[in-house]
Structure 1
């Protein structure tokens, strides 16, 4: 009987592993159980798409408070009371006034829970240090729901008190961001993680016990034995990478490890996954988490640069066919008419303006909403309101961060329209005096 390089037990374990990968990954995921925002954030300071779907599906015993809070530079000036706390106080007052009838209709215990939850949100914000975050999202409902999500992108300020969590803006943001499957590859171990929204979450790892060279008189055979185990490991890791990439809805993959090892391992990946490789880089444990994160972010920035160049290059075609609104005023006009299919806007563009959130109407001038004649609310940055409305309506949004120079010819804001539209029509919808 011929011999093999592994025992039957090893072989069966390897076969079983291919069938239970998904179960193992799902079993390893734990939703934070902190009773307060501080405890939940300490346990898990990030969110993934599966978490968000779970939050949206969950039924809650009392109203859910959802806060979206922007951290613009002027809001982060050090003072006894950070500016963003004043913004929160204003949002809280507006939300309580707008939801007064709803809150008063709640059972007594639920009604009393609203101020308690708002107090926990304020307590958390008073101690929170943004540390590079561009914005923050908070979901709070008693002890049932406590999630804090720092974001690397801007949002429109809002605070809602409702029966369900207001997840749609965050859902749209996560769809816009790349989800990267990161593989740390070595000859005897491969670790898999997901990088998203600036955070990395380890999923699992697989290992292979490599034979040691013990017989100096048979070095060739021992080396072949060792090489066979490396090949088995690479094959198993590549198969698992392909599965995780699809199951986790990743759109890019990144390989980290010694250059020769990574190069050899790459050949084992399916062609479709090879085509989605973001980068290959050499990092060691000594490099630390900051250098690791910087390497991933730098690779994403290069990818983003290519995508922005390609998207902006297409704008000339649409402009030539009368399907482009250029400049913030015309883009807002297109948004008010729900004509936008794609929105490209400079990440640092800011402009004060006015908004009617009930009817998704924007203006750069004060006045009343043309739909209900109610006064428009002032918006510190109407661009943030524009971006949120676009996301809610399924518009493909690109915040241009790398090639603002190319977007300058369109005054830093451009919208591809669903159909050719005369410029006069984009200016037709205006506020009432």
Structure 2
């Protein structure tokens, strides 16, 4: 019984077995917290200078626009160059932008447009760093530990999302925005050290054209997504969950319609999703050890839709919070399983472009989904938007599962990467 119980918990084998992954994960934890501190400081500083929600909304646009415009080109670059070197340069660029933000805060006044411009610059570097970092895990971990490694990364991300803003508020009150930016800049040091310790990570040169990266490489990446049903279905599953049933924009309306309408209940909505996600991560051994991650992905995405549809129907706040926690847990399971499916079925030479596509879907999908929910609620009600979105999500996931036979097969890996192996010639430590 004790052994079974341990197998339900977060699988720490990647941290125990690979010193390189352990350093990379630690660096990701520290830089993730630093980024959350800086985000709180940016939003606060822009609001203090402008008192305009248009300007604070522009912060999100500055983060998203470089990814949407440059994402696939960044992925093409990652698939042509030494990924380790690109990541080091990109993270150094992010740290440099954080130092510039700290410097402008120390000067006492800086136009809001300048602050947002530095945020956009940092996002440009992050657009390259994101797909580069997504290529590391298949080289650091054997294939059967990929899901566990992604679950550990998810824990780090959720921990930063859950605690980072609160710590940012405290630090902002104590040392001001400049102190938050400075901590953010320093936090990149651990990530830089972790990747600096890695050997060069050049992509697989097989069938790689000799010309410079450009539209041809982007088209090649898109063509791979079009002709690879399993990877395409994984990204479509993410879009089905986020575009059709993203609930965040509906929370204030639902809170006013069916609960007390106060800020305390509204804050609990967001916290419940995060708590469910953390709980799923802690118990991720229950699903990361399963051989067929495709089925796990589909089941979790459908559970997300069902939980949100039921949330739209319940009348009690505690039942609603429990359903949001269930949705948060399902989201974590789906994200980890989807990432595993994508990486196992993507050849090394295409990991950068596919990682960029996954990053774009992961960021743009929720934004579009929140807009969809708001539009539906504007002509009906929050409950109608939630229920219809959840049911549409379940129907779309069912169609994806039925229309993609490869999702129902267990195991599977990208060509040249048999189960149980890392990339040939690459050490675990």
Normalized per residue, the structure richer in helix is 2
Fold similarity call, TM over 0.5: no
What TM-score results when the alignment is normalised by the length of structure 2? 0.23
Q: Between the two structures, name the one with larger relative contact order (CA 8 Å, sep ≥ 6).
A: 2
CA radius of gyration, larger in? 1
